[in-house]
Chains A and B, each alone.
Chain A
């Protein structure tokens, strides 16, 4: 589904990704872990198309198409979704309106009819239950004055609405207490299927107790330096990142 080959990217003059290789198949959950500043969030941003990063080398193929050539909205229409680490507050735009526009632009781009108001509301109600989010929150200005937990839940709600083929969760656990974390993880799990894939970017193992990965990759200094199964995450939790750093420096 997603094939990343030798991906290199920089911001201004600073090289951040120095050759990422990653293969993801439908139905898989991949965790990207690593110490702060290793390039985890940059990888998420580059996949979603954030313009401030310049891709200097490499290929990203998503369902047979060159992802790097697409504008962010085209990627979303192809089925890529990024749950933001810091969701943006947009005064004056309600989540409901925002989602209606987004969903319908995606549908039209895929050659489907735009949903009418009734069908949209029906869909929304169904997805609200899934992520345990309240209608009153969705009628308010997007993320404005939301708590950290509400913002992250709203991200997962949007993900539920747009039903992406590839969901990238960027530090979705940061700033969440355990109850909020469970709700968010539960939402993500319900959305999993054999047809879609998930990338979970996280610094801590905690989230992975609830969203269980098939693969764990450790990103350090812009490269994937170690890959393994879910037990690798537990090992990192127990031993920290220093042993990984040492291994890399030795090699």
Chain B
């Protein structure tokens, strides 16, 4: 190979051979030309994820060791859902339970092999392999994941839970998952992606490409509450057609290093998009959220609220891009990123990035970072509430603004309990 491989991590990366081989090889080529991001890479300026990976892994080639985890350990109590469990990137039929009455769920590799039109129309059409090395890495190497297809006019009654568990108790684990989600016209679905891991260092990449057709509704919830050894890259691109509704929740409650790309393309009129994020970081955790709301047509709304709490040596990064294309008149686009720093060593880098080419639009953005309000703490203490409780109370209320937007009651209570427990124990 005449391309300079700058990073040892990219040696020995094998490309599986299947119906997408051409796309895989192209992605590998992009990966080698891009190289892993450094502090000079604009989109990774504040996130030294490559350095962390170099310290902990010899290669980013997908690992083959099987795992053994009881998924129930990490379950969401009482959640009535279609559950699809993956252990070390391998689909675990025995621990999964779902019906295909309302929807089509099949391994993505099988779907792509059987249905050429899906590859041509949808696969690798949204997640740009030339823009992000980890998207390239995932596109070249993914070996598990699903096609979730909802026909027109179907209200999927139960949420779909994709549960990705890494078992790194015997060796370091690297996984690469890929999902393609097609939501038909006037249909409705809720998808939850949950990540857990046990053992030592593990690294996962996931790329989701989601097509939401006219008048359809999607709720997409990402739950990252990992044991502190997981390095995680998640990229989700969603394309919306006219009058569709999307609610995204990105809940990063634990993990070693997290990078999330969430990219919404509002490719129609009358669209309603919401992006909510909550990150609670302690210790040496890093969470980096890069979001995009790309308004391509007139008369749509996007609204974004990301809130973070950082303690210890943790680091938060937020970058929110809003594009309003010339034809996207009458756009409403709002963005807000708020941060609370609880220690002197915790940091946050927040950057709104608005590029507006249309003239008749309403856009606003705001970001704040500061300490917990001392006056409010004193007020609570003066009523007999201990300082620790007062802190937890204030943080809980602060996080509540995001949690209360979760419409599924069981899921909301689950997150609410997790957050409440975390705030009392760790902050």
Contacts and interface: CB of A to CB of B under 8 A. Distances in A.
Interface of A: 48-51, 71-73, 75-77, 81-82, 84, 87-88, 90-93, 98-99, 101-103, 105-106, 109, 141, 158, 162
Interface of B: 373-376, 378-387, 389-390, 393-394, 396-398, 400-401
A98 B383 contact: yes
B389 A76 contact: no
B379 A76 contact: no
Contacts of A105: 384-386, 389
7 contacts: A77-B384, A81-B383, A88-B379, A91-B397, A92-B398, A101-B385, A102-B383
Contact of B397 (A93, A99, A102, A106): A93
Nearest to A48: B382
Contacts of A91: 397-398, 401
Contact of B384 (A73, A90, A92, A141): A73
Contacts, number: 75
A103 B400 CA distance: 23
Given A71-B387, A105-B389, A90 B397 contact: yes
Contacts of A84: 379, 382
A72 B385 CA distance: 9
Kindly list the 7 A-B residue pairs having the minimum CB-CB distance in the complex, ordered from nearest. A92-B397, A76-B384, A72-B381, A102-B383, A106-B384, A88-B379, A73-B381
A33 B394 CA distance: 34
A228 to B, nearest CB: 30
Contacts of A76: 381-384
Contacts of B373: 88
A83 to B, nearest CB: 10
Contacts of A92: 396-398, 400-401
Contacts of A72: 378, 381-382
Which of B374, B379, B382, B397 has the most C-beta atoms of chain A within 10 angstroms of its own C-beta?
Answer: B382
Nearest to A51: B378
Given A50-B378, A51-B378, A90 B394 contact: yes
Contacts of A50: 378
B385 A102 contact: yes
A49 B401 CA distance: 31
Contact of A73 (B374, B386, B396): B386
Contacts of B380: 90, 98, 102
A92 B397 CA distance: 5
Nearest to A50: B378
Contacts of B389: 101, 105
A49 B361 CA distance: 50
A109 B384 contact: yes
B376 A88 contact: yes
A101 B391 CA distance: 13
A136 to B, nearest CB: 18
A111 to B, nearest CB: 14
B276 to A, nearest CB: 15
A102 B385 CA distance: 5
B423 to A, nearest CB: 13
Contacts of A81: 382-383
Nearest to A90: B376
Contacts of A49: 378, 381-382
A107 B393 CA distance: 18
Given A72-B378, A90-B394, A91-B401, 10 more contacts: A51-B378, A73-B382, A73-B386, A75-B382, A77-B384, A84-B379, A90-B380, A93-B397, A102-B384, A158-B383
Contacts of A101: 385, 389, 393
A217 to B, nearest CB: 23
A76 B390 CA distance: 14
B134 to A, nearest CB: 35
Which of A51, A93, A103 has the most C-beta atoms of chain B within 10 angstroms of its own C-beta?
Answer: A93
A73 to B, nearest CB: 4
Contacts of A88: 373, 375-376, 379
B395 to A, nearest CB: 10
B339 to A, nearest CB: 16
A141 B393 CA distance: 13
